[in-house]
Amino acid sequence: MTSLLEVKDLVIKFALRSGEVTATNGVSFTLEKGERLGLVGESGAGKSVTGFSIINLISKPGYIASGEVNFLGEDLARVSDERIRSIRGNRISMIFQDPMMTLNPVLTIGTQMTETLHQHNPKMSKEEARNIALDKLRKVHIPSPEKRLDQYPHEFSGGMRQRIIIAIALLTGPELIIADEPTTALDVTIQAEIMDLLMELCKTDDMGLILITHDLAVVAQVTQNIAVMYAGSVVEKGPTAQVVADPQHPYTQGLIAALPQSSGHGERLNQIPGMMPTLKNIPPGCSFNPRCPHVMDVCRQQSPGLRPGKNGNLAACHLYPDELDNSSAV
């Protein structure tokens, strides 16, 4: 059975004035129908750009250098412009980070909703489009939706705007939603509501969800599986509960340990020493080696591929030996 989404060895590069840099270095993961996957990492780890690459929307000067993005068997990295446009907003919807910046200030909510429907269903009548929009607004719990359709983005609060964005994402009944930091720009109290809403909707409509975030707490609540990214590579993959409870990769271990919940009351917070390298300064071998408490000689020379850890999670770490280690791995 073909997976909903299969990303294989995705390499994304940026052609800057000063030279080329690699943003992702062979990222791979799979998503089944209705599965909720968390893509976790710090800013600059390459998770957002991976998310955008799925619908081929990376900002210039970035581009997909190699790899595949197979959506139900079709490689989206290689299809025509028209084809990808028919998939965007239709079968794969995206939710961006800051709802104030995402909605066009000079167009009504109604326009911004119905245009998606009309774009992908040119024969749909205005009335039908409007009704669908109203239905989705109700689904995201926006009160008096009829009035709201004719209002402008600045007339809504931040939380409501994000709900509207979610409503827009649902309009065409997509099979996959990519949410890029959907709650980072919102108040803490609203974050939980929005995430609950999103999770409910995905469950009811059997939609796949890729949740891109740096917030481990949110990911732990919502997702079934998790992929942790560091400096452009996936360093650990596995079921969420397992990765959080028993992380295999030293970086993930550091992340979990750094959560406030992991420190006792009145104790200092645990930190991972050093900083994630910038794209231009990635060290040879394993990119985490300068900061790793378990670093060995081989770590500085060879970059480990993903291999099973002690509990079945996949981790890119030499602590868990693999037959492929002595060949020239990526």
Partner 1 sequence: MIAFMIRRLFQALIVIFIISVIGFAIKQSVGDPVRELTGISVSEEERDEFREKLGLNDPWYVQYGRFFGDAIQGDLGTSFFYKRPATEVILEKAPATLELVLVSSLIILFFSVPLGVFSAIKPDSLFSRALMGSSIVGVSIPVFLTAIMMVYLFSIKLGWLPSFGRGELVMLGGWGTGLLTVDGWLHILMPSIALSSIMLPLFIRLIRSEMMEVLESEYIKYAWAKGLSHRRVWFVHAFKNTLLPVITVGGVQLGVTIAFTILTETVFQWQGLGFMFMEAVERSDAPLLVAYLMFVGIVMVGVNTIVDLIYGLVNPTIRIAGVK
Partner 2 sequence: MNRLDKFRESFLWYSFKRDKVAIASLIVLMVLVLAAIFAPLIAPYNPYDPEMIDIMNSEIPPAWEEEGVAEFLLGTDSQGRDMLSTMIYGMRISIIIGLGAVALQAILGVLIGLFAGYHGGRLDAFFMRAADVQLSFSYLMVAIFMSAILQAVVGVAKFGEIAIPFLVLVIGLSQWPQYARTVRASVLAERKKEYVEAARVAGFTSSRIILDQIFPNTLSPILVLSTIQVANAVMSEAALSFLGLGMPIDRPSLGSLINSGFELIFSGAWWITALPGLLLVILVLSINMLGDFLRDVFNPKLYKG
Q: Which residues of the shown chain bind partner 2 in the complex (CB under 8 A)?
A: 15-17, 60-61
**Which of 66, 104, 125, 326 is the binder for partner 1 (CB under 8 A)?**
104
**Which of 8, 85, 214, 300 is the binder for partner 1 (CB under 8 A)?**
85
Select the binding partner of residue 20 from partner 1, partner 2, none (C-beta < 5 to 8 A, by kind).
Answer: none
Smallest gap from residue 63 Cβ to partner 2 (A): 10
Rounded-to-integer distance, Cα 31 and Cα 27, Å? 13
Instruction: Produce one character per residue of 181-210: b if its CB has 16 or more CB atoms within 10 Å, e if not.
Output: bbbebbeeebbebbbebbbebbeeeebbbb
Smallest gap from residue 326 Cβ to partner 1 (A): 44
Phi, psi values for residue 49, rounded to 5°: -65, -30
Smallest gap from residue 200 Cβ to partner 2 (A): 39
Tell me which residue of 218, 169, 269 sits closest to 39, measured CA to CA. Answer: 218
Q: Whose Cβ is closer to partner 2: residue 61's or residue 173's?
A: 61
Binding to partner 1 by residue 226, rule CB under 8 A? no
Q: Whose Cβ is closer to partner 1: residue 69's or residue 315's?
A: 69
Q: Whose Cβ is closer to partner 2: residue 15's or residue 330's?
A: 15
- What are the tokens at 14? 């940026």
Mode of pairing for the β-strands spanning 36-40 and 62-71: unpaired
Smallest gap from residue 64 Cβ to partner 2 (A): 15
Binding to partner 1 by residue 14, rule CB under 8 A? no
259 contact partners, CB below 8 Å, separation of at least 6: 216, 217
Q: Under a CB-based contact definition with an 8 Å cutoff, are residues 209 and 219 in contact?
A: no
Rounded-to-integer distance, Cα 192 and Cα 217, Å? 10
Tell me which residues touch partner 1 (CB under 8 A). Answer: 55, 57, 59, 85-90, 93-94, 96, 98, 101-107, 115-116, 119-120, 151-152, 154-155, 168
